[in-house]
Structure 1
Amino acid sequence: MNKKKRKVDDVFDPDYDYVYGIVSTGTDWYFILHSTEGIYSTSRTEYRISLTEDILKNDTKLRKNVKRVLEVIVGLLKDRAIGSEEPANKKRCVEEIIKKK
């Protein structure tokens, strides 16, 4: 087990500092972006996975909502993976999210 803590310089790209966060109650999902400018929501869309008995019996809607949440998570992971390769493009994308707010 690696108990060594990472330093801020190891976590953030020195060209542009931002990191995504996911907050969930289990049914409600919120995706946030934390940058040097502040904390922002990455989407205006509400993400909800309802787990009622009716939904569990006919799981079409459940599958659709789970797919939507997973698509956002995969997109955030891809963005961070590619972020170090194209810092100028990533900086522009983050600035666009900030301008929308």
Structure 2
Amino acid sequence: MGEQAILTALKVDLQISTSAMDTYLGQLITAARSYISREGITLTESVEDGMLVEMYAAYLYRRRREENVQMPRMLRWALNNRLFSQKARGT
């Protein structure tokens, strides 16, 4: 899943219809990839990994805009499953 597709999904998730924040959202996507990689996950270009990056970027956006936002259980679950799956395959 490419950067533009992730950006489009992120804008839909956050209910943003203009391109005014595209640069900022692009930076959140880059940061999300970095944070996910720091957890030991090697991302691919699959739709599943693209949506994982989108979910993490949406969390970063909400965390910055709202007070005391915890990482959603769904996101933590997806990260853990992705990491365990990767480790089980030996990659």
TM-score, length of structure 1 as denominator length: 0.33
Q: Which has the larger radius of gyration?
A: 1
Higher relative contact order (CA 8 A, sep 6+): 2
TM-score, length of structure 2 as denominator length: 0.35
Question: Greater strand share, 1 or 2?
Answer: 1
